[in-house]
Chains A and B, each alone.
Chain A
């Protein structure tokens, strides 16, 4: 069981949330928006790899050769 991927996503989310609060307090709304967008995209890339692996596994288990 590879839980590290989950904790990686959660950690990135928390870091981005905290930085977001800092940037918003400093009045840099645009940078805050861009930062959260970048974070979302990074997590999306990880997730797409996980989804691809899951689909391959499902096909393997249910014999879709």
Chain B
């Protein structure tokens, strides 16, 4: 709760500063300030996220899921986290092409991670079918 109040307060201050910088200076400073804010927020949010990840890893261990699968899901989440960060930064600077490409790269890498699982599912299906 305390953290949330602080985050909203920083966001308010940042909004005003960004509005000033966008009108007074070139767009580059505003984009960079937005980037810095986003970096700070992602770094701050990693702390609770770490606890959530630990909780889910523990849950998976209790359900006796193979550790390879939980690690796969976590990696996919990490790639999504980084991809959304990069894409949002580019979109903030009004570079939609770069943003779309970053999102595309995220999708491709998640697909690459998921390929062995798809193969495993198909193999299991082959085992079930007579």
Say whether, besides A3-B40, A58-B81, A63-B74, A10 and B21 are in contact (CB < 8 Å): yes
Q: Which of B17, B28, B75 contacts A64 (CB 8 A)?
A: B75
Looking at chain A, what size class is its interface with the partner chain? 20 to 34
- Determine, out of B45-53, B98-106, B122-130, the stretch whose residues face the partner at the interface: B45-53
State the CA gap A16–B39 with chains docked (Å).
22
A8 to chain B, nearest CB (A): 9
Knowing A6-B10, A62-B53, A64-B75, the reply to whether A16 touches B32 (Cβ < 8 A) is no
Decide: A36 and B14 in contact? CB cutoff 8 A: no
> How many A-B contacts are there with CB distance less than 8 Å?
98
Describe B's contact surface by its main secondary structure: helix
Interchain CA distance A26-B30 in the complex, whole Å: 24
B108 at the interface (CB under 8 A from A): no
Question: Is A54 a contact partner of B35 (Cβ separation < 8 A)?
Answer: no
Are A17 and B25 in contact, with the CB atoms below 8 A? Answer: yes
Quick one: CB contact mask for B85-115 with A, threshold 8 Å, 1 for yes? 1000000000000000000000000000000
Please report the C-alpha to C-alpha distance between residue A36 and residue B17 in the assembled complex, in whole angstroms. Answer: 17
CB within 8 Å for A6 and B24 given contacts A62-B75, A63-B74: no
Q: Which residues of chain A have C-beta atoms less than 8 A from B66's C-beta?
A: none
Interface residues, chain A, with chain B CB atoms under 8 Å away = 1-3, 5-6, 9-10, 12-14, 16-18, 20-21, 36, 39-40, 43-44, 46-47, 50-51, 53-55, 57-59, 61-64
